[in-house]
Amino acid sequence: MIRRRVVVTGVGVITPIGIGKETFWAGLMEARSGVGRISRFDASGFDTRIAAEVRDFDPAAFMEKKEVRRNDRFVQFAYAATRMALDDAHFTITAQNAGQVGVLIGSGIGGAETWENQHQILLERGPGRVSPFFIPMIIVNMAAGIVSILTGAKGPNSAVVTACATGGNAVGDAMRIIQRGEATAMLAGGTEAAITPLSVAGFCSMKAMSTRNDEPAKASRPFDAKRDGFVMGEGAGMVLLEELEHALRREAFIYGEMVGYGMSGDAYHITQPDPEADGATRSMANALRDAAMAPADVQYINAHGTSTPYNDRTETLAIKRVFGLHAGKVAVSSTKSMTGHLFGAAGAVELITCALALQHQVLPPTINYEFPDPECDLDYIPNAPRSAAVDAAMSNAFGFGGHNATLIVRRYDRR
């Protein structure tokens, strides 16, 4: 079977440091932190009182008011990012092409805000007052469903839930669909809006989050020796993937070509990564094998880099095992230092970051890198962006349950 080539022709992002690719990229280049005091609810009684919120999002700018009322924030994010990706690609879904345009969007948690709000209504006002939209508003697949309904895309339609690997898996699985010839174009990505009292309380109980409440902007510090946990974020990342010949026929701008996708499972622990980094190692190695590339062919890695003691150490170990002597030469950064951890959206937003890095030939930094950790001793692009010649970039997304996903995007060579 002929494996079709797949390219990225449109991107849409909603993040704590910017809505839209231009504002988002400017935030990365300014090394700006999106972390601050939680404003969506009273967090005064919580151990962690900070998060990376999307503070200036108006869903009514993207969908009708009745649709805003009927959809949870995570779905609103997904649709808004989708509209941006379609506009960016100058791509119109019509009656003629709708059957060849698919949707694959994931979320790690889904409609957390709606769940909590409606549970409170149940307790205070009784079962008869629970919204008839409650179930559709909370289920993870509804992001893909609503995007399909509102855009008219009738091709393959699915959702993926692999915790913090979700965004990476969604883009990778969509790539596979086009490679197999089952669609000409796919809208793919991840979305999350879980900064809610119950979600924050749960992560606080796990002792997984930073408690640097007095210095929010310095709380997310991947690979730094004084890191003390991740910072919750929210947002969405969506890409339009197209079969190469289709993109060329319509003279689309190409951010890059999707060339590698690797997956693996740790089979180790519900939350902690395998300390020997076996799963992460195999995920990256599988992506390189899929791309038919050598480690030296990759110039940049957007790391999963959560700012937790376990993850950063094991990911560093995995990079060393996969890249060998090249590990010290490849540039690595974690943009979670600026955006916080977007959970199910992280892998997609960070793949978009790689695509933009290829376009601009500039690498985003790891901010708050102040105190080197002997166990994390790679080139993490500390604190400021770096101009560099980049032909290929790798994006890692690892999730609770031992899910690992790795993507590789390469500059498109028109020869």
Tokens linked to 350: 């960070």
Q: Is-contact 283 303, C-beta < 8 A?
A: no
326 is annotated as an active-site residue: no
Helix, strand or coil, per DSSP, at residue 18: strand
**Angle CA 411–398–298, to nearest 5:** 25
> CA-CA distance, 50 to 215, in Å (whole number)?
9
> CA-CA distance, 165 to 8, in Å (whole number)?
20
Looking at the DSSP bridge assignments, the partners of residue 242 are 7, 185
> CA-CA distance, 190 to 212, in Å (whole number)?
28
Q: Is-contact 106 161, C-beta < 8 A?
A: yes
Q: Dihedral of CA 12/89/415/2: which sign?
A: positive
Catalytic residue among 119, 164, 204, 360: 164
Catalytic residue among 119, 246, 304, 326: 304
Q: What b-and-e string marks burial along 260-272, b requiring 16 or more CB atoms within 10 Å of the CB? A: bbbbbebeeeeee
Beta pairing class for 101-106 and 50-51? unpaired
Helix, strand or coil, per DSSP, at residue 70: helix
Helix, strand or coil, per DSSP, at residue 247: helix
Q: Where are the beta strands (DSSP E) in 49-145?
A: 50-51, 101-106
The burial class, CB within 10 Å (0-12 / 13-18 / 19+), for 366 is buried
304 is annotated as an active-site residue: yes
Catalytic residue among 204, 246, 269, 341: 341
Looking at the DSSP bridge assignments, the partners of residue 398 are 404
Give CA 117 to chain center in angstroms: 26
Q: Which amino acid is at 98?
A: A
Tokens linked to 182: 């089952």
Give CA 269 to chain center in angstroms: 22
Give CA 114 to chain center in angstroms: 22
By annotation, the residues acting in catalysis are 164, 304, 341
